[in-house]
């Protein structure tokens, strides 16, 4: 057997950034916790029980996960230096994200009882509108809203990346760096304004807040141009600023926890809570911003933690995000005895969240390894005389 030619030898993957993978891993674990542990934060007879307290804590503490994901999506897009045509860029995003998103959406449509609700709609037009809105904006399963959102941001990413340069050519008196700073400030203003208007009920949170690309564009743009923004500060300033923002986040979350644990504020059975407005409550706007800025400082400072379980999860965030609801539903939620066990032993909630995330990561990892083995073996066989 001849040695495989150079074209059949696998090219080593570029070394992964352990800090970014760790951030992504904690974030995706947080998303699973928000959705599963948060389901124990109810107004029924279990309110104020140990499982309620744990669910409430995890639901609030990991509120920064989605803002951080949006920021990191922009960061990774901005860090790419590989020249690629617009057509290849959009085709790559479609194959990587759109195809698995459609698979999961179709599975959720039939397996999570959305099909039955869809059939009750009064007309064909109403059914088409429901499908269009759910697939392209809200998500067939509401927790899937992040995928249409991030696709909207990826759609405009080339323009957002080039925008400061374009504006510099129009107004040469301001450098591209200054335009980055001004646009970041403008988008932050839009983010906070939309958030506060949604919190007041002036705008619909489920239209202008959670699933809306304009609401999240600040984090994406800041990540996209993070290298420029970080270059405006010294290393000492980044260290001091990062620590200060994390301390602010701790303080805000402490205040938030005191408010949410006070029956005089939220009602004896938690009936007055506003947890559904997860990203637009003023305290959460500040908390999310402080957490993302504090953790982003570690990117600029080139923090390099040792790879571990969370950095492993961080390699499979898309797959975990897409499939975790189905895994949780068929593995736990549909079994009353499993939920009862979680209420009796709240630590099971964390273990189940970890098991759901890790199982999806392991299956995805195994699938990738199998595809690589088959592809490489096929290349070797083809080149064998």
Query: How far is residue 353's CA from residue 59's CA, in Å, rounded to a whole number?
Result: 12
H runs (alpha helix) in the chain: 18-37, 50-61, 65-79, 86-93, 99-111, 114-119, 124-133, 146-170, 176-200, 213-224, 226-230, 235-260, 263-266, 282-300, 309-313, 317-328, 336-344, 347-382
Q: Report the alpha-carbon distance of residue 261 to residue 264 in Å, rounded.
A: 9
Q: In sequence order, what are the residues at sequence separation of 6 or more whose Cβ sits closer than 8 angstroms to the Cβ of residue 339?
A: 332, 333
Cα distance between residue 154 and residue 151, in whole Å: 5
What percentage of the chain carries pLDDT values higher than 90? 80
Task: Find the mean pLDDT for residues 224-236.
Answer: 95
Helices and strands: H and E segment counts in the chain: 18, 0
* 64 vs 91, residue with greater confidence: 64
Please tell me which residue, 61 or 92, carries the higher pLDDT value: 61
Query: What do you get for the CA distance between the two ends of the chain, in Å?
Result: 7
Residue 211, classed as helix, strand or coil, is coil
Least Cα distance to 228 among 182, 172, 286 occurs for 182
Q: Mean of the pLDDT values across residues 168-194?
A: 97
Query: Residue 191: pLDDT band by 50, 70, 90 thresholds?
Result: very high
- Sign of the four-CA dihedral 246, 250, 255, 261: positive
Report the pLDDT averaged over residues 37-62: 92
CB 96 within 8 A of CB 65: no
* C-alpha to C-alpha distance for 171 and 193, rounded to whole angstroms: 27
Task: Tell me if 131 sits within 8 A of 350, measured CB to CB.
Answer: no
Residue whose structure tokens are 């039955």: 116
pLDDT at 373 (0 to 100): 83
The pTM assigned to this predicted structure is: 0.92
Q: Give the C-alpha separation, 99 to 111, whole Å.
A: 18
Q: Judging by beta carbons within 10 Å of its beta carbon (0-12, 13-18, 19+), is residue 181 exposed, middle or buried?
A: middle
């Amino acid at each position: 057997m001849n040695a495989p030619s150079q074209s059949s030898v696998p090219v080593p993957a570029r070394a992964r950034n352990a800090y970014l993978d760790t951030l992504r891993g904690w974030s995706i674990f947080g998303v699973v916790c928000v959705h599963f542990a948060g389901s124990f934060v109810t107004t029924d007879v279990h309110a104020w029980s140990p499982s309620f307290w744990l669910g409430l804590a995890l639901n609030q503490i990991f509120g920064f996960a989605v803002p951080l994901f949006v920021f990191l999506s922009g960061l990774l897009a901005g860090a790419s230096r590989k020249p690629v045509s617009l057509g290849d860029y959009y085709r790559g995003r479609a194959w990587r994200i759109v195809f698995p998103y459609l698979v999961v959406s179709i599975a959720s449509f039939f397996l999570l009882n959305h099909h039955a609700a869809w059939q009750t709609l009064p007309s064909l037009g109403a059914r088409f509108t429901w499908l269009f809105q759910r697939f392209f904006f809200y998500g067939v399963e509401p927790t899937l809203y992040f995928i249409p959102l991030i696709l909207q941001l990826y759609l405009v990413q080339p323009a957002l990346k080039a925008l400061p340069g374009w504006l510099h050519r129009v107004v040469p008196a301001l450098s591209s760096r200054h335009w980055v700073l001004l646009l970041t400030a403008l988008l932050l203003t839009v983010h906070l304004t939309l958030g506060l208007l949604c919190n007041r009920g002036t705008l619909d949170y489920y239209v202008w807040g959670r699933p809306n690309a304009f609401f999240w564009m600040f984090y994406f743009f800041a990540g996209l141009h993070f290298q420029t923004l970080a270059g405006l500060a010294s290393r000492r300033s980044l260290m001091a600023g990062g620590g200060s923002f994390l301390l602010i986040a701790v303080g805000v979350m402490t205040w938030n926890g005191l408010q949410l644990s006070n029956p005089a504020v939220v009602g004896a059975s938690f009936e007055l809570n506003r947890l559904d407005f997860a990203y637009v409550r003023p305290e959460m706007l500040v908390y999310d911003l402080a957490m993302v800025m504090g953790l982003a400082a570690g990117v600029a400072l080139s923090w390099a933690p040792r790879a571990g379980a969370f950095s492993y999860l961080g390699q499979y965030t898309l797959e975990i995000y897409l499939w975790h609801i189905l895994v949780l539903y068929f593995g736990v939620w549909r079994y009353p005895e499993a939920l009862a066990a979680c209420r009796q032993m709240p630590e099971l909630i964390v273990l189940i969240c970890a098991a759901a995330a890790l199982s999806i990561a392991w299956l995805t990892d195994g699938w990738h390894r199998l595809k690589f083995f088959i592809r490489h073996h096929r290349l070797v066989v083809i080149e064998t005389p």
